Chains A and B, each alone.
Chain A
Amino acid sequence: MTEERTARAIFELAGSAPAQPGSEVLGLWSAGKASPPGQTSFAAGGSAEPEIPVWRVNLPSDAEQAAQDLTLAENSLARAEKALDVAEGRISALVEKRTSPAVFGIPSQPEGLAPPEQELLAMLNQAQYGSLAPSFGLTDQFQEGWEQAVNQFQGFVDLVIQTLTHYAWVETRIAGRLSVRTAVSWNGDFETAWQDLIESEQMHLHTRTLKIALASRAITVRSFAVVAAAAGKLTALMSTPGGAILALPAAWKYINEIRAELEKYQQLTQEDRDGQ
């Protein structure tokens, strides 16, 4: 078995501030480097334009493995999208529950809530009272979490802005070699350059890569919509001025945790299946 055959696909988002430093966008795209030497032809004047996000997929030369990796990526994106629906529903339920007559306000005890909800309420609590007062028995670790969430959310906003204002570059590399590149303007115009005499199989791999990259962009923008709506709902639990603004990073963090929860569930299910 050669090295290429055993290598797995790498999904990189280059030339863009990652939404989550040290982690992956939508759980799929890791922060990639700018175009490697010799690839500067991407940029006008021969220099790279790091502000243009490049969605780069480096596939193994084994076509079967490549197809499997793309299938996993498609499934992962589907879970990311599902996480948005789940998060919307759970936030609505949470707000409804917390504003019902039986429960009063954020400070009350969060028994029976899942960890993402507990953490969400803790963050709102902190924003609400503007202090490091212990909440739910947890202490100042929340301030750190809060700052991290704000930074991550800002990175996410930057990514969405880039998505909405720049071309997207989608590249498919096979065993490290560029074989196709598509430039997609925000309004949907496509320009694709193919390696001459590219094999039909590789063509189809790129169309799948392109679909994954474009779906990732759309989910990223949709994520912002969900975060904004969630923050609006969460203001019902806050009396702090600028409540919706402060709720944005908390909502963003919450949605990521829901997605991670779904990923974890998928992983456990897969492990169970593999074990049988």
Chain B
Amino acid sequence: MTDEASLLKQTLTFNGINGATGGYLLDPLTPKEIAMIARGESFEKEHLRELRHRYLRAAQTHLGVKEGVDPKKIQETGWGVIFAFDDRERLPALKEALSELLNLRQEQAGDLYKEYIGVDAYRPEETKTAFLARHGMGPGPADPDKVPYYLMIVGDPETIPYRFQYQLDVQYAVGRIYFDSLEEYAQYARSVVEMERSQKRLPRQAVFFAVQNSDDPATQMSAKHLVQPLALEIAEDQKQNQWQVNSFLAEQATKATLGDLLGGEQTPALLFTASHGMGFPNGNELQLRHQGALLCQDWPGPVAWRQSISEDHYFSADDLSTDARLLGLIAFHFACYGAGTPRLDDFAHQAFREPVAIAPHAFIAPLTQKLLSHPKGGALAAIGHVERAWGYSFMWEKAGAQREVFRSSLKRLMEGHPVGSAVEYFNERYAELSTVLSSELEEIEFGKTPDELALAGMWTSNNDARSYVIVGDPAVRLPVSDEGHKNDGQQTDSAETERPTISTIVIHSEATVEAPLQPPPAQPDTSGEVISPAALDYGLTDSLRQARDRLTQSVSQFADKLGKTLEKAVDDAATLEVYTYVSDDMSQVSRDFASSAQLRAFTRIRVDGDTEVCIPERSREIDQQLWAIHLDMVQQAQTNRAEMIKAAASAATRLLEALKIV
């Protein structure tokens, strides 16, 4: 057994540092503690069936999409975009901002292009199984004729939860984008389109960046057993494909170097980083800005540094230069919260059966968001971890380092696979681990003595494998020069030596998808593309907008009157009065019956049942004919009152229900 495997046996470490305290995000857990948590795990039956199916299928070397479909060809795999039903009001604006990308994918996928909007959109609380079933898909390989293999989720992880993404990712190639402003959506869309439509290509350069902080077992392990050997393996493997692979390890893995790799002169086509990800307590002012930022070699380590982490130690979204040249980059960040943060702590949920909030809401790592939406042109995709990343991603008890999932995924990516197809190995691993774990848990439930170390390892690695996600369009691929081109650091079709950029996008509207924490800086550049405010107004034409306004006014007026009427009805319900008059000249009967006709009969019925009656007489005898018709009127009055109150109450109730849906 290796020393590191032995280390794992003692404590399970993960890649996350609490920025506020300088300590680890979670105290190291013993295998026994983890095993206790694992035994609290429960699996959705449908999802488990899917995982088993996925695992068995993978054993037959089929990945993701059904047999006969080339995952490199979007015209065969299809491409779809999933919006949230809850985002229906801003859907037209979102689609307008993403129009360049959507148009491109529609051209590429043809009939296999799908937009999941309106009735087809993701519905609140919907599981992956329910979503797919609604669209004609059950378990099994992705069938692009029913649901496209590449699926891009557009929505924040509160509206479309990470859990849905994890589940859908088992069967499909899934990515997600969510930005704070329409400009960022448009910038991301243009970045992808610019690199796919133009002939501009990046040099075949990949960089591995591995932090190895002092006295820190997690980064020492990831540097030594993941990044360093992985870089060598990839370099060797891709030498024939003329990839140039560089590594920045340990002392070289500084914040300054990372800045140079993220938008500076050394920015490669593919960047792989391994480090701690920054975490902050729920409510900390830095959490939404810096969580998931990459802690660099500048941090002296947990022994030498026993205070809150300085911003000089980590690279966050704030460190990304406005002049950064990132266009075309695909990044892989092995770090806690490198891709995003859920609202609830998975560990606490399992251990204590109660949700513990670790953030005010689920969110995508701001560094990743900013990398993708940079106004000069952004990264095409980032692969990373939601929640905490663990050493089990690449270490296994008794077996030592396990890099094949990483190596295979990177190899696919570097050989032209779209990112969603490239990372299928992670999904396959998740399926395998879940299947094994659920079987083990079942055995334990029926009396087997648990092997705590094995169970802890299985559960942790299952959680770990599940939480790798793609931020970005899953169909993007590395936009590198063709094999055989000289790796001279220049674009293949241009004499320019600088990395390409996109033209500035300006949206002349105050509309934002959600109010950004800080308003974006003014963009006076008039040479940029303009999305007109009209296009942002939910796509309604003037006539429909006017109709909607008129109807809203009518309905509001109606609701107001209805409310007052019902209120009055309650007040007036104490009595019911019926008067019967006669007149020998009906043409003279005025509004005031009492003054223009002769009262012959009267009935007042009180709510308590008391009744006052005035009976008509003719020639000192009861006028039977008039009395009979008066009684008929009383009966009609009672029936009418009941029916009208019922009808009005029903109208009020149903109108409220309908407006609630609005």
Contacts and interface: CB of A to CB of B under 8 A. Distances in A.
Q: Do A and B come from one complex?
A: yes
A272 interface: no
B661 A179 contact: no
Contact of A130 (B541, B572, B581): B541
A161 B561 contact: yes
B593 interface: yes
Contacts of B544: 126-127, 130, 146, 246
Given A41-B587, A231-B658, A101 B647 contact: no
Given A41-B596, A179-B586, A239-B91, A106 B569 contact: no
B133 interface: yes
Interface in B543-576: 543-545, 547-548, 550-552, 554-555, 557-558, 561-562, 564-565, 568-569, 572-573, 576
A102 B590 CA distance: 64
Interface residues of A, number: 82
B641 interface: yes
Nearest to A192: B580
B117 interface: yes
Contacts of A214: 636, 640, 643
A108 to B, nearest CB: 10
B560 to A, nearest CB: 9
B540 A41 contact: no
A203 interface: yes
Contacts, number: 237
Contacts of A191: 578-579, 581, 593
A193 interface: yes
Interface stretch (A20-28, A112-120, A149-157, A255-263): A149-157
A217 B644 contact: yes
B558 A160 contact: yes
A241 B89 contact: yes
Nearest to B556: A245
Given A131-B541, A222-B651, A245 B586 contact: no
Nearest to A128: B118
B588 interface: yes
A110 interface: no
Interface in B603-637: 625-626, 629, 632-634, 636-637
Nearest to B658: A232
> Chain B contact residues: over half helix, strand or loop, or mixed?
helix
B651 A221 contact: yes
Interface string B123-159: 0000000000111100000000000000000000000
> Chain A contact residues: over half helix, strand or loop, or mixed?
helix
Contacts of B539: 129-130, 240
A34 to B, nearest CB: 14
Contacts of A157: 554-555, 557-558
A184 to B, nearest CB: 7
Interface in A216-268: 217-218, 221-222, 224-226, 228-229, 231-232, 235-246, 248-249
Contacts of B572: 187
Interface stretch (A8-16, A59-67, A194-202): A194-202
A193 B593 contact: yes
A39 B587 contact: yes
Contacts of B558: 157, 160-161, 224
B154 to A, nearest CB: 13
Chain B CB within 10 A, most for which of A99, A181, A187: A187
Nearest to B587: A38
A232 B657 contact: yes
Contacts of A127: 544
Contacts of B554: 153-154, 157-158
Contacts of A242: 548, 552, 662
B401 to A, nearest CB: 45
A190 B653 CA distance: 27
A42 to B, nearest CB: 6
Contact of A189 (B548, B577, B584, B648): B577
Contacts of A239: 85, 88, 91, 117-119, 121
Contacts of A237: 118-119
Given A105-B118, A165-B564, A188-B637, 15 more contacts: A41-B591, A104-B119, A160-B558, A181-B586, A188-B576, A190-B577, A195-B583, A203-B629, A221-B651, A224-B558, A226-B654, A229-B657, A232-B657, A244-B661, A248-B555
Nearest first, the 4 closest Cβ-Cβ pairs linking A and B are A188-B641, A232-B658, A239-B118, A221-B647
Interface of A: 38-39, 41-44, 98-99, 101-102, 104-106, 126-132, 143, 146-147, 150, 153-154, 157-158, 160-161, 164-165, 178-184, 186-197, 200, 203, 207, 210-211, 214, 217-218, 221-222, 224-226, 228-229, 231-232, 235-246, 248-249
Interface of B: 85, 88-89, 91, 117-121, 133-136, 538-541, 543-545, 547-548, 550-552, 554-555, 557-558, 561-562, 564-565, 568-569, 572-573, 576-584, 586-593, 596-597, 625-626, 629, 632-634, 636-638, 640-641, 643-644, 647-648, 650-651, 653-655, 657-662
13 contacts: A44-B591, A165-B565, A179-B586, A180-B586, A189-B577, A190-B633, A207-B629, A232-B660, A239-B88, A240-B88, A241-B89, A244-B659, A249-B551
